[in-house]
Structure 1
Amino acid sequence: MKVTRLLAGSLLAATLVAAPALADNHDGDEPQDRALVILTSDSLQTQGMAMILSNAMQQQGTDLQILLCDAAGHLAVEGYESAEAINTPPSNPAGQVKPEGILQMLMEKGAQVDVCAIYLPNSDLGEDNLREGVGVAAPGPMAEMMRDPSIPVYSF
């Protein structure tokens, strides 16, 4: 009898302690997946691949944070156009795409895009040259995201 009460009490205590941790859904909403995509490459195909994969993640429900630096920072500049378009696979109806076009589409669908903190000071550009909605990342919050084990980091 004492063992049964002890087990029942332990089970109740465990349930009370675990319930808040298990209650990750609020008002029926699914928890939002997040991802940090860091793009620094000057390669047109690498930039395109990063944007295409980011688009696929966003379509699958991932909340995207995109950090652009070095040559990839140019994608965030208003009016920037890649020298050429990328051919998509035959199964893709888009035909040809440019990384900056996909980036703009991602932003319109809610992706947060920033240039790294050292991009503008090492160029002849200012914040007013960036696409509308593009910010300048602060190292502290970016480092927090990179350290957060629940946020995968993809670097291209």
Structure 2
Amino acid sequence: MLKTLLSAALVAVTLPLSAAVSAETAAKPALVTVLAAPDAQTQMMAMVLTMQSVKQGSKARILLCGPAADLALKDAPASATKPQKPLGVGPQDLMRKLMSQGTPVEVCAIYLPNRDSGPDVLLDGVSVAKPPAMAGHLLAENARILSF
């Protein structure tokens, strides 16, 4: 009888601990950062928040549209590369760091055709988004969307 009571007490004590551990180790949501803002500070903040999410365990991906897709250009405008305070790097630099850590970066499917350009103008590793696949990422059950 005493053995049964001790076993029940042990289960009662460890059950809440195991629930806390499993909640803590549960998969982080997938993050999709959609960036279209032309402003360098907004672009930088989008990269900072995406980087922080990755550091906290989220799998992220970045979709660049409109003027923000200029971040993906090999010959990017000065606003994409100009260092921002307090980090001392530009939005493109932080985006490249995210890419080096495995974060996919894509430009909107209509970006290059409307520039009369091909994918050769993009940084190595940046691809053109496929709308059905991107819609799948946006609609995924565990997705969180940051939109700038």
Alignment TM class, shorter chain as reference: 0.7 to 0.9
What is the CA deviation profile of residues 106-142 of structure 1, one whole-angstrom value per residue up to 9, with x for unaligned ones? 0000000000100001113210111111111011111
Task: Check the 8 A contact 1:35/1:151 in 2, yes or no.
Answer: yes
For 2:35, the equivalent position in structure 1 comes to 39
Measure the CA separation in 1 of the matches of 2:28 and 2:49: 18
Alignment of 1:4-83 (within 5 A): 31=27, 33-83=29-79
Q: Distance in 1 between matches of 2:57 and 2:89?
A: 22
Instruction: Give the alignment's TM-score, normalised by structure 2.
Output: 0.77
Q: Residues 69-120 of structure 1, C-alpha deviation per residue, up to 9 Å, x if partnerless?
A: 10000101113143332111xxxxx3x2200000000000000000010000
Question: Structure 2: how far apart are the matches of 1:45 and 1:31?
Answer: 30
Equivalent positions of 1:50-129 (< 5 A) are 50-83=46-79, 84-88=82-86, 94=87, 96-129=88-121
How many residues are treated as equivalent by the alignment?
123
Report the counterpart of residue 22 of structure 1 in structure 2. Answer: none
Structure having the larger proportion of residues in helix:
2
Structure 2 stretches lacking a partner, 5+ long: 1-21
RMSD over equivalenced CA pairs, Å: 1.8
1:32-58: CA deviation from partner (whole Å, max 9, x where unpaired): 531100000001110010011111111
Retained in 1: the 8 A contact 2:29–2:144?
no
Cα distance between partner residues in 2 of 1:79 and 1:60:
32
TM-score normalised to the size of structure 1?
A: 0.73
Q: Which amino acid aligns with 2:50?
A: S
Q: Percent identity?
A: 36
